[in-house]
Structure 1
Amino acid sequence: MRIKKDDLVQVILGKDKGKRGKVLKVIPREKKVLVQGVNIMKRHQRPIPQLREGGIIEREGAIYASKVMLVCPSCDKPTRVGLKLLEDGTKVRFCKKCGEVIDKA
């Protein structure tokens, strides 16, 4: 997968189409990502006296990585991601629209 934790992504399919958010967690085995403020689910939670109070808790649900596109930090547009090798042998991601390197180390 070419999406990593803390990347800014935009949703391109589904009920949250057009929303942008930061990637909180990547689940490569399931090909899913957890994006901040996207796919909000409600969970009914019972109270446990010493630990937590009960109620309806809202949290993000995982969505497929194919439904999000990485937002390029330099051109601020959702873009496809390419991989290339630099002269020093490191593999970096780059924006297919403007050609800028996304991974700045």
Structure 2
Amino acid sequence: MYCEIVYQVTGERWGIFPRDTGEFQARMSIPDSINNSDSHDTIIKKSVKIEIMSCSFTPDEKSKRHREALAGLVDKLVKAGWEQIPEGGPEWYNIRFHK
């Protein structure tokens, strides 16, 4: 069984500086098959909500809040018995695990 951490936009906040709200999600992944990223039954665990400038589109590795949200999710997965594997995905937060 494998999972990978992805980022999902969950809403938006309007104002002078519009922001997207989102969360990191650990999703089940099945090697060599199509994984429906919109299916909620593939979500194992979620991070706390984070905000991103709407023009950025992706979490910032330099943001302390983004790193802490990711670290919190990684900690939840490890405590649930998931083991991190060395290979990761294309984004800095695409950490993969197996159980």
**TM-score w.r.t. structure 2 length?**
0.26
Q: Name the structure where helix makes up a greater proportion of residues.
A: 2
Q: Which has the higher contact order (CA 8 A, sep 6+)?
A: 2
Larger Rg: 1
Q: Name the structure where strand makes up a greater proportion of residues.
A: 1
